[in-house]
Chains A and B, each alone.
Chain A
Amino acid sequence: MLTRLIESGNKKVADMAIKTRFRTYRFRSDRNFFRAASFYEKTLLGVTAKKPAKTTMQMEVYDCMKTTDLIKAVLIWDTKNNQKITSLAGKNVIKGGKASWDFYWDLFGRNSIDNNGLLIKQYVHFDKGMDNAYWDGRRMVYGDGDGVVFASFTSDIDVIGHELTHGVTENEANLDYENQSGALNESFSDIFGIMIKQKYNNQDVKKSNWLIGEKVLIGIKYALRSLKAPGTAYRNHPELGDDPQPATMENYQEMPNTESGDWGGVHINSGIPNFAFYVSAYNIGGYAWEKTGRIWYAVLTDSNLAHDAKFVDVKNLSILHAEKLFGINSLEAKAVKQGWLEAKV
């Protein structure tokens, strides 16, 4: 119909018809764009007036009393009652959980792990001397460490932020926990974990040491991971030997997709996207969460990030979001490209 009017030979009618078609295309295009845009992107464009109404964090902390029975764990603290507690691990996870919740809310308007106010459940003193922390799909669980090699896994705020971010990832791209997608899952947890610590301590990219778990792994020379220099968090450790993380794609470790193969090296190869983030953040400068963190959050919440994404997919999306947020030839977009270039992805 519009085509016939445009070709009618009547200049006035044709003019009206082409303008109608133009508006229709723009409307459809805008609608597609906004359907795919994140809350944060909409906020930047001013189409979402403000963050959702202020809400409050909901958290419960349980003491496993050095057993592995989570059902019998005792509630020692919750946001409603704000009980006084003596457990240092309990105090640590309250502090870390609050810092993590605040980070996601203040910067991205994200209301908890699922962006729908999920009650954060944290379990401390799990098992006897357990040297681990994990996210089981519903809650965060922390061991006390053996006291020789490992201290309590609640000792570092970045480890708490790491575990909480596993929940965020599960509610977003839900990256498969194997091979490259699993390494990206780990990397997002490390990246947001370190930014949660940096923001809590008000550290910019130069002041931060970019170490994850520096108190958890006992010894002043040691940490669990380094984003700045993957493969150097511990060296010649009497029990652990050397940090096995690569920083660049040429040293990617092909490992079996089994329990003993770390599901294809998810905690090993995460060093590569971690390093890309570090280089990007360092070159952008300032506080990592202000710009680089916004880019990576836009990637994490992008519906185009597939559950089986590879490093190159996150590379492409992070460049795309840097360009969308800061401009095609912006310093930020160039820094992100450089980050992935140095990681050789």
Chain B
Amino acid sequence: MKIKLIRTGGFIPLTKMAEAEVNFSENELVRLIEIIKPDPAAQRVKDGSYYQLTFGSGSAPVDLEKVPEEYKELFSKLKNDMRIVK
């Protein structure tokens, strides 16, 4: 399965993206998305950046601070590999 990490927003609104091939099961993906979803009551950060994970035909918002230990390496690599979408 191909996943994409997309960053938007910021002082000047940029879109950055990286992708990786993973072998998540459907259940694993559902569980991960539930764990890493941002707090819906969180205040909008002025000039803040936001992350979105896309997979297949779906997508979900991501709070990178909530990524569980076993996925940190994957998300760290995705973040480092991000490039500006022109």
Q: List residues of A whose CB falls within 8 A of some B CB.
A: 68, 128, 131-137, 149, 153, 159, 162-163, 166, 170, 177-178, 185, 189, 213, 216, 224-225, 239-241, 259-260, 262-263, 267-268
Q: List residues of B whose CB falls within 8 A of some A CB.
A: 6, 8-15, 43-50, 52, 61, 64-65, 80, 84, 86
A163 — nearest CB in chain B belongs to which residue? B47
What are 9 of the A-B contact pairs (CB < 8 Å)?
A132-B11, A132-B47, A134-B11, A137-B46, A149-B84, A162-B47, A177-B44, A178-B44, A260-B52
Contact among B11, B52, B65, B80 with A128 in the assembled complex (CB-CB below 8 Å): B80
In the assembled complex, the Cα of A240 lies from the Cα of B85 at a distance in Å of 8
In the assembled complex, the Cα of A184 lies from the Cα of B6 at a distance in Å of 27
* Contact flag A68-B64 (CB < 8 Å), given A135-B45, A135-B46, A260-B52: yes
Residues of A within 8 A of B44 (CB): 177-178, 263
Verify B10–A131 contact, CB threshold 8 A.
yes
Verify B84–A135 contact, CB threshold 8 A.
no
Residues of A within 8 A of B8 (CB): 259-260, 262
* Contact flag A259-B52 (CB < 8 Å), given A133-B11, A239-B84: yes
Residues of B within 8 A of A213 (CB): 11-12
* Contact flag A267-B13 (CB < 8 Å), given A134-B45, A134-B48, A259-B50: yes
Contact among A134, A170, A178, A225 with B47 in the assembled complex (CB-CB below 8 Å): A134
